[in-house]
Chains A and B, each alone.
Chain A
């Protein structure tokens, strides 16, 4: 038996072991089947847009919480049914509030969140401009005598 064949057999065994090791993890959630790749791409992109409420720093895409599984299933059904993102947003916000969206919508409640930084930037600009102007205006009047003395000293020919 050649070494090549033995190597191939060992490779197969490793592959088999790996499959066996992985399968219990995969079995936890049924694999979703998409009829067209556009739906799948939309679904995958959408999952990154929503927060898992159970583990708040994870998106629905990354979370293994059972709530995230339920919501993934719900979003899958809606994507396959062709619902627009706005409708899916609406569904989730009605249940969990704006917090579920990683990019909050612009509403009265979130207005401060969106425009607050620009307001602060505006205040900072106005403040710095006015401070700069004021310090220019308040600078002491130049001392005429001292200036004349300085000019005379500069104009004086060097002795050495």
Chain B
């Protein structure tokens, strides 16, 4: 009797897998970085890239301001003078929950997700670091001027080497990093309103609660 039901059971299992497969997006790959320490990097800010002194002086005076949250000033004064933060060191983000958003001016879906990032920046006190991936700094600057700069820091990854270490394969991509410096979540493709509501905000709130309790 049991043996007679076996073909039915095999069929049901196969049908189950195929049904699940219908709703999966083959373009979305699980990141091996999840729950692992985030790759540490140091990269030129967009301001520095605009001023043309990429990685010229990443001395100690630079590091002081790099982890600061008031990086909103990065949209102005690109004259390579004293006010410009030349490099960003991701190790300074340790101890706080933050987001890494990989974007480019040549990337259409990046403009599509931007309103959601604006909402996120307005509703939560979580720094969003923007990694400008394989882009011309001037185009990136113009893009920020057009859509608004909500990033706490804007970094210029012209050759895509930081993106390579983070396993970026499609822009936009967004990583959530917790207070211990671990990647907790990765979103590939534009963040839609429902992604923000149903996935990203709950994760951020949960992580912030943990970070708050630990502090």
Interface residues of chain A, those whose CB is within 8 Å of chain B, are: 53-54, 56, 66-67, 70-71, 74, 93-97, 99, 127, 130-131
Contacts and interface: CB of A to CB of B under 8 A. Distances in A.
B164 A95 contact: yes
Given A66-B134, A67-B169, A74-B164, A96 B3 contact: no
Contacts of B27: 56
B77 interface: no
B27, B31, B164, B166 pick with most chain A CB within 10 angstroms: B164
A65 to B, nearest CB: 9
B31, B160, B167 pick with most chain A CB within 10 angstroms: B167
Contact of A54 (B30, B33, B165, B169): B169
Query: Which 3 A-B pairs have CB atoms at the shortest separation, nearest pair first?
Result: A53-B169, A95-B167, A97-B32
Interface string B17-44: 0000000001101111100000000000
Interface residues on B, range: 10 to 19
A97 B6 contact: no
B52 interface: no
Given A95-B165, A95-B166, A56 B3 contact: no
Contacts of B202: none
A96 B169 contact: yes
A99 B3 CA distance: 36
A53, A93, A96, A127 pick with most chain B CB within 10 angstroms: A96
A66 B159 CA distance: 11
A54 B170 contact: yes
Contacts of B31: 97
Q: Is the interface of A mostly helix, strand, loop or mixed?
A: helix
Contact of B3 (A54, A93, A97, A127): A127
A41 B167 CA distance: 27
A96 B170 contact: no
B29 A99 contact: yes
B116 to A, nearest CB: 24
B3 A130 contact: yes
A46 to B, nearest CB: 17
Interface in B1-25: 3, 6
Nearest to A65: B169
B132 to A, nearest CB: 15
Given A67-B168, A93-B32, A131-B3, 14 more contacts: A53-B29, A53-B169, A53-B170, A54-B169, A54-B170, A56-B26, A70-B164, A74-B164, A94-B167, A95-B32, A95-B166, A96-B169, A97-B30, A99-B29
30 contacts: A53-B29, A53-B169, A53-B170, A54-B169, A56-B26, A56-B27, A66-B134, A66-B160, A67-B168, A67-B169, A70-B160, A70-B164, A71-B164, A74-B164, A93-B32, A94-B32, A95-B32, A95-B33, A95-B164, A95-B166, A95-B167, A96-B167, A96-B169, A97-B30, A97-B31, A97-B167, A127-B3, A127-B6, A130-B3, A131-B3
